Structure 1
Amino acid sequence: MKTSELQRTETSPAARQRAVRVGRSLCPTVLCAALLVASAACTTTSRQVADMQPVTRNSSPSSMSELRIAEAALDAGNVELATSLFDKVVQADPKSVPGLTGLGNTLYAVGDFTRARVYYQRASSLEPNAAAPLIGIARVAIHQRRFDDAISTYHGVLARTPDDPMALAGLGAALDMKGDHAGAQAVLRQALKANPGDPLLSVNLGLSLVLGGDAREGANVLLDVTRFPGAPPQARQDLALAYGLLGNAEAAAEILAKDLPKASVQDNLRFYEIQRARMAQPGGSAGANGAATSAPTMEAASLR
């Protein structure tokens, strides 16, 4: 596979808009939120993995500058520019771990998870102890619903860096998606002791509580995050979900309207109604597996 092929990958305006939705986690449905917090989870998915990329000792000043610009472009949703710059870095140094990881991130942003995994694995083979490629591999595994693989990979990262907040957030998300909400919450609560106030971990914990059936406590956790001006968008979306499952449609609609068009707000309110009805049945819950098939905007906003 030639890296220049990435220049032709999902670079239309519509594709870039999808990438922004993936990176900023604006989808308020249960599965989307759970997937995106993994990158994990994420407050953005692309930026967080990019921030952890190691810079090799033989990187030239120009390559380091290009890497920083590429990471900023990807964080801003400009996948085409990011791809071009990461590709330039890799063309100059085919063994550039940050460059290969960055190309994986651009493919991840547009939903090409299979090819993203190829670049993450190539980077990981060059630097087996580098966390960023491994976290990318785990994020792809979550999107492909290979939860055990993701959990194993996150444990491998944590064996070397036990308090890594991204790996802990991703592990919590993977456990949630597998249905182990109690396990996820234990991981996230312990992670917050080591990383107090971390918004990503708090958002994941709030969502985990909602998915586990305790929407009221989840709402309280998410309220603590959303009261800050710089709160990540997914914190608001998860709070809207919590309110929706509690039956407070008016509060949920008000929150959703800050990030979504009116039609999407109504779609999500109907989704919340479906989930409340499901939870009212014997043995019902808002768990990710049960909600995934009913999410009205999940495929468009999260998986493509």
Structure 2
Amino acid sequence: MKSSTQRIAGLSCAVALLLAATGCTTSVRQVTDTRPVLRNSAPSTMSELRIADTALESNNFDLATSLYEKAVQADPKSVPGLTGLGNTLYSVGDYTRAGVYYQRASQIDPKATPPLIGIARVAIHQRRFDDAIATYRRVLTITPNDPLACAGLGAALDMSGDHAHAQALLREALIANPGDPMLSVNLGLSLTLAGDPRQGANVLLDVTRFPAAPPQARQNLALAYGLLGNDDAAAAILSRDLPKASVQDNLRYYELQRMRDGQTTRAQPAKSVAVSSVATPKVQTASVK
């Protein structure tokens, strides 16, 4: 079997940050901090920010952008408004401009964690893993054991090839946050990427047995089964979320990856293999997506 570093290189197309997909099937949703209505806050602005958050979660980017921009026009130092604009840009793949808004928000309030998490997510997409790791660790000094930051840090460590530290961190985070689905999803994927798809599948099965399990959990489980050679199980899982053509593309990728891991061939995946179920650690939200 190849080294962990080689395995990560071999899985680069599966771990393309859509992140990924994120990983992945990677529609993006980030939950910003809950905002209590403060005595001196303008009720209309607070209401509009909540509507903007809901619009963003529903992928209504035009409405979300309009409302966040209105909040920033009313208050150029609105951290929720600037962070929301960053989130909408991140959601449509404009990571560079998203980073600008996250940075502006963080400069206004260095202890606000949502813009810091946005900065870290952008760093992962730009493959600046050291920067992402440092930023997530900064978040954890502000809010220890925060599940969103722990899941993101685990993803950043994994994508830098440091699976052992990623798994140790995620296991510790699960002790502090028992049952958190994204921590479990990232742990299962980490084990799979580290060369232990059987153990990864066992972890992911605990998540996917729930009806409300996130699609990413199922897709990572399909990856684990695919690397184990159980294409029938992988196809059945993928079929829940993907069209038949995408399922077949993924199965072809799994086969090529098995061949590479078995050192029976050095061939790279054919360019025609478009992996629709992107396997990558989830970093957008603490719950699902």
Shorter chain as denominator, the TM-score bin is 0.7 to 0.9
Paired residue secondary structure (2:195): coil
Instruction: Determine the structure 1 residue equivalent to 2:259.
Output: 277
Q: Alpha carbons of 1:295 and 1:140: their partners in 2 closer, same or farther (altered >3 Å)? A: farther
How far the C-alpha of 1:33 sits from its partner, in A, is: 7.9
Q: Which of 194, 202, 208 lines up with 2:176 in the alignment?
A: 194
How far the C-alpha of 1:295 sits from its partner, in A, is: 6.9
Q: Which of 45, 54, 62 lines up with 1:63 in the alignment?
A: 45
Give 1 or 2: higher helix fraction. 1
Q: What RMSD, in angstroms, separates the aligned Cα atoms of the two structures?
A: 2.8
Paired residue secondary structure (2:184): helix
Q: Which has the higher contact order (CA 8 A, sep 6+)?
A: 2
Instruction: Determine the structure 2 residue equivalent to 1:30.
Output: 15
Paired residue secondary structure (2:51): helix
How far the C-alpha of 1:46 sits from its partner, in A, is: 2.1
How far the C-alpha of 1:59 sits from its partner, in A, is: 3.1
Per-residue CA deviations over 1:220-254 (Å, capped at 9, x if unaligned) read 10010011111111001101111111101111111
User: Is the 8 Å Cα contact of residues 172 and 185 (structure 1) preserved in structure 2?
Assistant: yes
Instruction: Determine the structure 2 residue equivalent to 1:47.
Output: 30
How far the C-alpha of 1:42 sits from its partner, in A, is: 11
Return the alpha-carbon distance in structure 2 between the equivalents of residues 43 and 296 of structure 1.
15
Instruction: Determine the structure 1 residue equivalent to 2:209.
Output: 227
Q: Which of 58, 64, 70 lines up with 1:82 in the alignment?
A: 64
Query: Counterpart amino acid of 1:47?
Result: Q
Return the alpha-carbon distance in structure 2 between the equivalents of residues 36 and 202 of structure 1.
17
Q: Alpha carbons of 1:295 and 1:244: their partners in 2 closer, same or farther (altered >3 Å)? A: same
Counting matched residue pairs gives 264
Q: Which runs of 4+ in 1 moved over 6 A?
A: 41-44, 298-302
Q: Alpha carbons of 1:241 and 1:279: their partners in 2 closer, same or farther (altered >3 Å)? A: same
Instruction: Determine the structure 1 residue equivalent to 2:284.
Output: none
Paired residue secondary structure (1:137): helix
Instruction: Determine the structure 2 residue equivalent to 1:133.
Output: 115
Q: Alpha carbons of 1:167 and 1:120: their partners in 2 closer, same or farther (altered >3 Å)? A: same
Instruction: Determine the structure 2 residue equivalent to 1:172.
Output: 154
Structure 2 segments unaligned to the other structure (5+ residues) = 1-12, 281-289
Instruction: Determine the structure 1 residue equivalent to 2:128.
Output: 146
TM-score by length of 2: 0.84
Paired residue secondary structure (1:30): coil
User: Is the 8 Å Cα contact of residues 202 and 221 (structure 1) preserved in structure 2?
Assistant: yes
Return the alpha-carbon distance in structure 2 between the equivalents of residues 301 and 279 of structure 1.
17
Return the alpha-carbon distance in structure 2 between the equivalents of residues 299 and 189 of structure 1.
25
Structure 1 segments unaligned to the other structure (5+ residues) = 1-27, 285-289
Report whether the alignment pairs 1:161 with 2:143: yes
Instruction: Determine the structure 2 residue equivalent to 1:296.
Output: 274
Paired residue secondary structure (1:47): coil
How far the C-alpha of 1:43 sits from its partner, in A, is: 10
